[in-house]
Structure 1
Amino acid sequence: MSAIAKDRPPLGFGDELDDFDPAAWTKPSAPIAKPVPEQTRHAAEAAGFRSREPAKIEAAHSPAPQQRRRRTGRNVQFNIKTRAETIEAFTRIADTNGWGLGETFERATELLERAQTTR
């Protein structure tokens, strides 16, 4: 192995490392002050950067969603894709009648089953 190591060409780092003095590196006497967040944001916007943070939503513009969770014994999940208008109508029916979404789905299924048996 020593024969191989002697045959290697130098990489060019030796001169810099020979002159390196670790004692020359000292900590700054005073800590560097962090910029104010407002200054940072302003400088970033001036440079064309956009924040990835979500925009803060005003509480007055969006009401809190209605709580629909209840202990009902329902423990199976059923996911479907539908249009937004259908979901809005479904939740409006549930809210108007004071039902949970699971109960509304069960009642809708019962009505559809009755409609099929009367045909």
Structure 2
Amino acid sequence: MSERASIFEKPKPKVDVSGFAPRAEPEARPRPEDLEELTRGSKFRSREGADPEPSRVQQRRRRTGRNVQFNIRATQQVIDEFKALSEEMDWPDGLTLEKALIALKREMQKG
């Protein structure tokens, strides 16, 4: 078995890099007009000007005085139904939760 390397020993250079040197002159770059002409005939797709895809869920911001966050775990189906109800009624999520609690208390008092 070989011995482990010590972290206290200074490593000795194993590669000779004395032959490397910076370039004397920079390479000539093509003009932007020449590049555009070259890419016109090919299937090159530019990365510029790409419109971002619209987000799936639209943010709804309202000033309601509800400023405490309440995180719960639920199935995706329950969350989707909750969000759909909020959207249908055009209520903020906090108001939907308040109305749901009132309705649940009412149901519990009935029987």
Per the shorter chain, which TM-score range? 0.5 to 0.7
Q: For the structure 1 residues 12 and 73, does the alpha-carbon distance in structure 2 shift closer, same or farther, using more than 3 Å as the test? A: closer
Out of 101, 108, 111, the position equivalent to 1:109 is 101
Partner of residue 61, structure 2: 69
AA aligned to 1:109 is L
* Aligned-partner Cα distance in 1 for 2:23–2:60: 58
Q: If the length of structure 2 is used for normalisation, what is the TM-score?
A: 0.54
Number of residues paired by the alignment?
A: 78
Q: Specify which structure has the higher proportion of helix.
A: 1
What whole-Å deviation, never above 9, does each CA across 1:34-80 have from its counterpart, x for those lacking one? xxxxxxxxxxxxxxxxxxxxxx9972xx6542222211111111111
Structure number with greater Rg is: 1
Q: Is the 8 A contact 1:94 1:104 kept in 2?
A: yes
* Aligned-partner Cα distance in 2 for 1:57–1:84: 29
1:30 to partner: Cα distance: 2.5
The sequence identity of aligned pairs, in percent, is: 34
What's the RMSD between the two structures over aligned residues? Answer: 3.4
Partner of residue 24, structure 2: 29
Q: If the length of structure 1 is used for normalisation, what is the TM-score?
A: 0.51
Partner of residue 98, structure 1: 90
Q: Is the 8 A contact 1:94 1:101 kept in 2?
A: yes
Q: For the structure 1 residues 26 and 86, does the alpha-carbon distance in structure 2 shift closer, same or farther, using more than 3 Å as the test? A: same
* Aligned-partner Cα distance in 2 for 1:104–1:89: 11
Moved over 4 A (4+): none
* Aligned-partner Cα distance in 2 for 1:12–1:63: 55
Q: For the structure 1 residues 32 and 104, does the alpha-carbon distance in structure 2 shift closer, same or farther, using more than 3 Å as the test? A: farther
AA aligned to 1:81 is R
